[in-house]
Amino acid sequence: MSYFDAASGAPLHPVARQALLASLDEGWADPSRLYREGRRARMLLDAAREAAAEAVGCRPDELTFTSSGTRAVHSGIAGATGGRRRVGRHLIVSAVEHSSVLHSAELFEVTEVPVDRTGAVSAQSYVDALRPDTALACLQSANHEVGTLQPVAEVAVACRAAGVPLLVDAAQSLGWGPVEGEWSLLTGSAHKWGGPSGVGLLAVRKGVRFSPQGPADERESGRAPGFENLPAIVAAAASLRAVRAEAAQEALRLRELTERIRARVPRLVPDVDVVGDPERRLPGIVTFSCLYVDGETLLHELDRAGFSVSSGSSCTSSTLTPSHVLKAMGVLSEGNVRVSLPPGTPAEEVDRFLEVLPGAVAAVREKLGAPTPSAVVREDALVVDALGKRCPIPVIELAKVIGDVPVGGTVRVLSDDEAARLDIPAWCEMREQEYVGEEPADRGSAYVVRRIS
């Protein structure tokens, strides 16, 4: 089985395994105690903090270990806004932030900064969003679904000039290198770089106003209550140092493999949209969407063929709404596949994936291509009734009948699936047809497409 979902969780690094086993014997005591076992545990904790701080690019006393990356984000946002509560309750976030950031932001007044079709924000958009009552700005270092790198350094300059702290979610990028720029707060998650799950990092620069929320606790500077999971912390710090030592060479190798996927998938599979920035991106992530394909079904086909990949498609077992990242980018969401290669992935496995993919897509399309569209001609327009049908069926039916109207004629697709609001405009751009817009209907919405070729 080839595991191609490192962006969700990387396999445990051998160094992490060794450090975890060793510290189970040496680091079980309370590091706050003064007897021998406690002093030994304190030395391990201090060494782990120093190693992690060096990798992050901060002082050891600026770094806190938390119980997860999500907890680090929640604590970071709560503490930063608590420290600036007199300024206001306005937050700035990008439209493609991780859900942990977006869920935390729901408690505040939020300006959501849009992204372009590659998934990147512009620094100017953050400048334009700044207000006198802005308490905090948040920006990920790299996107978790498409791999696009964000202009953190430029945004940090703008925020610092306005006196607004910038929190950077560096979960996806921290294993590849430190985050550039004068950020104020930074978070990370160990299981993203090959450390054990259940360990997060929160770095808060000196001088940043920070007020931990919730009941007071004496551990981790009061920012992460509860007894430290010392063996996991030691393993997380050791693995971060190890992957950093290998990062430069491995990044070159994985970038070549993802470039191979980006170049060959559109040639091997028709009607595919490769998304994300082609240049400014993480080394191991490549994402593409296939027209007329159900994402969940495609993932099952690839799983049977021996490949573990993930999807931001609207049709997954966990949600029936489109990925907020793909939606913000305005790209196709149906049939979405994210390939994220863990370090050490053999080139032969990538080649085998490229051999299997065309057949898997063709099999899914054959299964979904059977429905006969319900079409009615009304004057110069054709109406496709796709009510009650989940994407990609409305798009499949649109594609089947677009040739039945003359150039300049329109097709009105009736659909009550939210994904159609994203996928039909994306289909029009891919197939060089004109998306006229959305109109109200008795049920759902009518999506109007004009044939121009």
Q: What are the strands, taking DSSP E only, across 253-400?
A: 272-275, 285-290, 307-308, 336-340, 375-378, 381-385
Please name the residues in contact with 339: beta carbons below 8 A apart, sequence gap of 6 or more. Answer: 4, 258, 261, 285, 286, 287, 309, 353
C-alpha 234/C-alpha 24 separation (Å) is 10
Q: Measure CA 302 to chain center.
A: 21
C-alpha 246/C-alpha 282 separation (Å) is 15
Asked whether the beta carbons of 169 and 73 are under 8 A apart, the reply is: yes
Q: For this structure, is 315 an active site residue? A: yes
Tell the burial category of 229 from Cβ atoms under 10 Å away from its Cβ (0-12, 13-18, 19+): middle
C-alpha 48/C-alpha 237 separation (Å) is 5
Asked whether the beta carbons of 271 and 293 are under 8 A apart, the reply is: no
Residue 269 DSSP code: S
H-state helical runs in 369-439? 393-401, 420-431
Residue in this structure with the two tokens 């007044």, named with its chain if needed: 109
Compute how many other C-beta atoms are within 10 angstroms of the C-beta atom of residue 440.
7
Catalytic residue among 159, 315, 391, 428: 315
Token readout for 369 is: 């291509």
Amino acid residing at 308: S
C-alpha 257/C-alpha 282 separation (Å) is 12
Tell the burial category of 159 from Cβ atoms under 10 Å away from its Cβ (0-12, 13-18, 19+): buried
Residues in the chain: 453
Residue 84 DSSP code: T
Beta pairing, strands 445-450 & 381-385: unpaired
The pairs formed by 401-409 with CB atoms below 8 angstroms and a separation of 24 or more are 401/373, 401/375, 402/431, 402/433, 402/449, 402/451, 403/451, 404/375, 405/380, 405/381, 405/451, 406/380, 406/451, 407/451, 407/452, 407/453, 408/450, 408/451, 408/452, 409/380, 409/381, 409/382, 409/450, 409/451
- Per DSSP, the three-state class of 369 is coil
- Per DSSP, the three-state class of 38 is helix
Which residues are designated catalytic? 315
